[in-house]
């Protein structure tokens, strides 16, 4: 059986909750395609996978450089109207991705709020969560990009330190294996979120939070806030102790503060 067909069979077998799988050699963005699929009225959960993207999108309007060495997928999921605080689902998606990569990684995978997956200080995966309302139904699009097996040139084209799955595995799993495991974990965790909200995930996030107890800077593109991270609360908000007291952070993203970079790894601020 050709590799791709074999992988589709594996996906269907391990993820009976997925209605349809859409596979592309190249596409503008799997999130864009997921949006088009939702608009066309396709029912249930849809998975879009592409070998490369010509207009991959990252968080906060950034581009996501998407050469053939990466792994790009978007999973759509209808959300019951009563489910609130949907932004916490981007943390749930990060937890699910970390959990999946951890199956193969020989090095510890950690989380950077709100939804980066890190190995050391290098990024291995990122998530773009988008909401689409269609015919009165909220549909979430979980867009996930994983550095799978990038060439040295492909890594150099990315404007931040990155690491790929090939570097941290003994035997690189197939793309189909990674996608199947990731979708299974994500769909299971989304179901849990629908019934119980973010609180069951708080402990697990804080266990793997790269910067818990560390000095960090929150950057939202306009301003910067310095403080010490206390991890997340039961809503997935980041608790930050600043010079003005404790603040709850709901937007922006974490960067390590210079304070952290200058001190020894085992010290607390």
Q: Which is nearer to ligand BTN, 15 or 53 (CB)?
A: 53
Residue 229 found at the interface with ligand BTN (CB under 6 A): no
Residue 100 found at the interface with ligand BTN (CB under 6 A): no
CB 73, min distance to ligand BTN, A: 6
Q: Which residues of 111-122 are buried (b: 16+ CB within 10 A; e: fewer)?
A: bbbbbbbbbeeb
Contact 30, 74 (CB under 8 A): yes
Residue 36 found at the interface with ligand BTN (CB under 6 A): no
Q: Which is nearer to ligand BTN, 118 or 228 (CB)?
A: 118
- Per CB under 6 A, the list member of 15, 46, 74, 109 interacting with ligand BTN is 74
Q: What is the dihedral of CA 155, 158, 160, 164, to 10 degrees?
A: -40
Q: Which is nearer to ligand BTN, 31 or 46 (CB)?
A: 31
Q: Is 153 exposed, middle or buried (0-12, 13-18, 19+ CB in 10 A)?
A: exposed
- Per CB under 6 A, the list member of 8, 15, 21, 30 interacting with ligand BTN is 30
- Per CB under 6 A, the list member of 17, 58, 69, 197 interacting with ligand BTN is 58
Sketch the per residue contact string, 143 through 162, with ligand BTN: x for CB under 6 A, - otherwise. Answer: xxx-----------------
Count of residues binding ligand BTN (CB under 6 A)?
A: 20
* Strand 245-249 relative to strand 110-112, pairing: unpaired
Q: Which is nearer to ligand BTN, 208 or 228 (CB)?
A: 208
Residue 142 found at the interface with ligand BTN (CB under 6 A): no
Q: Which is nearer to ligand BTN, 154 or 228 (CB)?
A: 154
Q: Which residue is nearest to ligand BTN (CB)?
A: 126
Residue 186 found at the interface with ligand BTN (CB under 6 A): no
Q: What is the dihedral of CA 104, 231, 211, 268, to 10 degrees?
A: -130
**Which residues here bind ligand BTN, judged by CB under 6 A?**
29-31, 53, 56-59, 62, 64, 72-74, 116, 126-128, 143-145
């Amino acid at each position: 059986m050709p590799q791709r067909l074999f992988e589709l069979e594996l996906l269907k077998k391990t993820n009976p909750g997925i209605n349809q799988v859409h596979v592309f050699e190249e596409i503008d963005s799997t999130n864009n395609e997921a949006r088009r699929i939702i608009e066309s009225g396709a029912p249930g959960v849809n998975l879009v996978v592409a070998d490369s993207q010509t207009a991959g999108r990252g968080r906060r309007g950034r581009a996501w450089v998407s050469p053939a060495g990466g792994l790009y997928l978007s999973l759509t999921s209808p959300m019951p109207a009563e489910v609130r605080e949907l932004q916490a689902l981007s943390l749930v998606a990060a937890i699910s991705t970390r959990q999946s990569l951890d199956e193969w990684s020989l090095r510890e995978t950690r989380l950077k709020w709100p939804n980066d997956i890190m190995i050391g200080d290098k990024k291995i995966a990122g998530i773009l969560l988008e909401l689409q309302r269609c015919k009165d139904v909220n549909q979430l699009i979980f867009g996930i990009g994983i550095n799978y097996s990038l060439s040295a040139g492909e890594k150099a084209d990315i404007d931040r330190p990155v690491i790929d799955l090939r570097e941290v595995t003994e035997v690189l799993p197939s793309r189909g294996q990674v996608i199947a495991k990731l979708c299974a974990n994500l769909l299971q965790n989304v179901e849990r979120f629908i019934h119980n909200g973010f609180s069951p995930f708080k402990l697990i996030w804080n266990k793997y939070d790269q910067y818990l107890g560390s000095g960090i800077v929150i950057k939202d593109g306009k301003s910067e806030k310095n403080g010490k991270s206390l991890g997340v609360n039961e809503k997935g908000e980041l608790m930050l102790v600043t010079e003005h007291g404790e603040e709850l952070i709901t937007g922006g993203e974490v960067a390590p503060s210079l304070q952290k970079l200058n001190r020894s790894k085992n010290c607390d601020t």
